């Protein structure tokens, strides 16, 4: 398992080792002990999966506040996405900054997004399946979102993403400057 830092110190790209032969390959996609030894000692309690039919489907930028703030371990099992994490910790020197990582089923890479970050992605192809582990249950009363195209964040979404497919919730998400309860 290879762990690589991103432009945000606490967000880590993880690429499990694939063992292949003429039949295909095998990979251990989650190893609690190995991740713990690398400082990712999270008690993931639930696995989630999303499917997005059209390319250009944008989900995010989502987060949950205490007492149900979530860390996530995100991977793509079909297709590819541009995955984004935004630092929402006001005391952090990287507050308001983001990192972008392309995740794909072909590469098998994953992104660890700790508590204190918003997370979102856009699908780069049709028929994308994303799976992710979370450290807290979904709690509608703790759910928040930051507008995907917030000019202060200046996320470099793909050029072809002129009119993404969005949920009503994501269309109405406020800007980061208007978030009353980000992290300390």
Q: Is 62 part of the annotated catalytic residue set?
A: yes
- Per residue in 34-53, pLDDT (tens digit) is 898 888 999 999 999 999 99
Q: State the pLDDT at residue 133.
A: 97
Q: What is the pLDDT of residue 162?
A: 72
Model pTM? 0.93
Ramachandran region, residue 110 (left: φ > 0; alpha: ψ -120 to 50; beta: rest): beta
Dihedral (CA of 123, 128, 147, 111) sign = negative
Mean pLDDT (whole number) for 54-65: 95
Residue 163: per-residue pLDDT = 83
- According to the model, what pLDDT value does residue 143 have? 96
Digit-coded pLDDT (tens) for 6-17 = 999 899 999 998
The tokens describing 155, both together, are: 């996320």
Q: Which 3 state secondary structure label does DSSP give 97?
A: coil
Sheet with 117-123, side-by-side order of all strands: 98-104, 80-87, 117-123, 58-64, 143-145
Of the residues 63, 98, 119, 132, which is catalytic?
A: 132
Question: Nearest-CA neighbor of 76 among 63, 59, 64, 97?
Answer: 59
Q: Which residues pair with 100 in a beta bridge?
A: 84
| Omega of the bond leading into 67 within 30 degrees of 0 (cis) | yes
State the catalytic residue, choosing from 62, 68, 98, 138. Answer: 62
Q: What is the pLDDT of residues 123-141, one digit of tens each?
A: 999 999 999 999 999 999 9
What pLDDT is attached to residue 161?
A: 72
Asked if pLDDT for residue 116 goes beyond 90, the answer is yes
What number of CA atoms fall less than 13 Å from residue 1's CA on the CB side?
18
Question: Per residue in 145-176, pLDDT tens?
Answer: 999 999 999 999 987 777 899 999 999 999 99
> Range with the lowest mean pLDDT among 23-32, 82-91, 144-153?
23-32
Q: What percent of the chain lies above the pLDDT cut of 70?
A: 100
Give yes or no for a contact between 69 and 79, defined as CB atoms under 8 angstroms apart. no
Q: Pick the more confident residue, 29 or 123.
A: 123
Asked whether residue 86 carries a pLDDT value surpassing 90, the answer given is yes
The 10 Å CB-count burial string (b at 16+, else e) for 9-38 is ebbbbbebeeeeeeeeeeeeeeeeeebeee
**Is the separation of the CB atoms in 46 and 133 below 8 Å?**
yes
């Amino acid at each position: 398992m290879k762990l690589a830092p991103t432009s945000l110190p606490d967000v880590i790209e993880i690429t499990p080792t694939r063992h292949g032969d003429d039949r295909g390959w095998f990979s251990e996609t989650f190893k609690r002990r190995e991740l713990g030894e690398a400082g990712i000692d999270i008690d993931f309690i639930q696995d989630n999966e999303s499917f997005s039919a059209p390319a250009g489907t944008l989900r995010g930028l989502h987060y949950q506040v205490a007492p149900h703030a979530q860390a996530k371990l995100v991977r793509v099992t079909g297709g590819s996405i541009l995955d984004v994490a935004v630092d929402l910790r006001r005391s952090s020197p990287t507050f308001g900054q983001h990192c972008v990582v392309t995740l794909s089923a072909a590469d098998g890479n994953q992104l660890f997004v700790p508590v204190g970050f918003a997370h979102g992605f856009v699908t780069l192809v049709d028929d994308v399946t994303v799976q992710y582990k979370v450290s807290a249950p979904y709690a509608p009363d703790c759910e928040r979102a930051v507008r995907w195209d917030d000019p202060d964040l200046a996320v470099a979404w793909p050029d072809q993403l002129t009119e993404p497919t969005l949920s009503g919730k994501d269309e109405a998400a406020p800007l980061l400057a208007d978030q009353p309860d980000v992290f300390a």
